[in-house]
């Protein structure tokens, strides 16, 4: 009997990551799930129809956490990588602890790149594989009171496009999912529940997951979920950075909600 295909999903304990893991399980993928918090409930709900699920708690901002995740694949070929792990951080930059903003950068950028490089080398050697990276429309906006997070997503959005181009003849595809505000624990963990954007209606993570998963299967370079987010992206392309920063301030300044 042929071995099932394997998908790795990071940031899989809740939100978009968990919803993508459910889509992968429905399509018959074995799963390696990773998050920086326990995954007991998420993993239990996916173990059905013979699906094998390996769930690990790992801090993917560190080389040790990334190595632990890779080891959980147990040498198997990785058919799909969903690099979804990410941290937000709200409030004024001068009020943030150094450890807090460094953790955002180490999770969203450094850990993501460590994981991508290791997995992509193996995919390219095989001549096949699909990668879905969670960027954000935030990467196109100067993010007052969310400056480190938006800056990290600007890097991710750009990096995904660049490596997608580098690998265009390799048989491996890179898709960047760019959601807007989504109904997850993001704003709670980022300390932004008292902001206008923190209290505003948000997209359903299940809908966002479908958008990203289907785009990945088609090998699209990037995909923005939702008409409102697409309109915001178009507006950001013609406005100055000063203008987008002021717009973002009105949404993300503490107490604006």
Q: How far apart are alpha carbons 117 and 187 in whole angstroms?
A: 29
Is residue 149 part of the annotated active site? The answer reads yes
Angle between helices 63-72 and 112-126 (to 10 degrees): 40
- The maximal CA–CA distance of the chain, rounded, in angstroms, is 59
Radius of gyration of the chain, Cα coordinates, nearest whole angstrom: 18
Q: Which residue in 63, 9, 59 sits closest to 177, CA to CA? A: 9
* Strands 53-57, 30-35: pairing kind: parallel
Q: How far apart are alpha carbons 123 and 14 in whole angstroms?
A: 27
Q: Are 162 and 174 in contact (CB under 8 A)?
A: no
In which order are the strands placed within the sheet that holds 129-134?
53-57, 30-35, 6-10, 80-83, 129-134, 172-178, 222-224
Q: Which of 101, 149, 159, 213 is catalytic?
A: 149
In sequence order, which residues have a C-beta less than 8 Å from that of residue 187 and are 6 or more positions away?
A: 88, 90, 181, 193, 195, 197, 198
Q: Which residues are catalytic?
A: 149
């Amino acid at each position: 009997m042929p071995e099932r295909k394997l998908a790795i999903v990071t940031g899989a304990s809740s939100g978009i990551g968990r919803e993508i893991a459910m889509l992968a399980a429905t399509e018959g993928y074995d799963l390696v799930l990773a998050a920086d918090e326990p995954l007991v409930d998420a993993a239990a709900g996916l173990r059905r129809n013979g699906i094998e699920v390996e769930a690990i708690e790992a801090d993917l901002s560190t080389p040790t956490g990334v190595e632990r995740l890779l080891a959980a694949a147990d040498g198997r070929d990785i058919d799909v990588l969903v690099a979804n792990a990410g941290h937000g951080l709200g409030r004024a930059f001068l009020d943030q602890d150094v450890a807090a903003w460094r953790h955002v950068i180490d999770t969203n950028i450094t850990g993501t790149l460590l994981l991508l490089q290791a997995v992509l080398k193996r995919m390219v050697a095989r001549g096949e594989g699909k990668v879905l990276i969670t960027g954000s429309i935030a990467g196109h906006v100067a993010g007052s009171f969310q400056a480190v997070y938006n800056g990290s997503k600007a890097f991710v959005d750009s990096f995904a496009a660049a490596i997608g181009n580098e690998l265009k003849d390799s048989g491996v595809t890179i898709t960047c999912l760019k959601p807007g505000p989504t109904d997850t624990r993001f704003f709670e963990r980022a300390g932004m529940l008292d902001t206008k954007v923190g209290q505003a209606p948000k997209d359903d993570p299940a809908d966002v997951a479908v958008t990203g998963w289907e785009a990945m299967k088609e090998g699209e370079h990037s995909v923005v979920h939702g008409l409102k987010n697409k309109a915001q992206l178009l507006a950001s392309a013609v406005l100055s950075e000063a203008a987008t920063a002021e717009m973002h301030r009105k949404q993300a300044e503490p107490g604006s909600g």
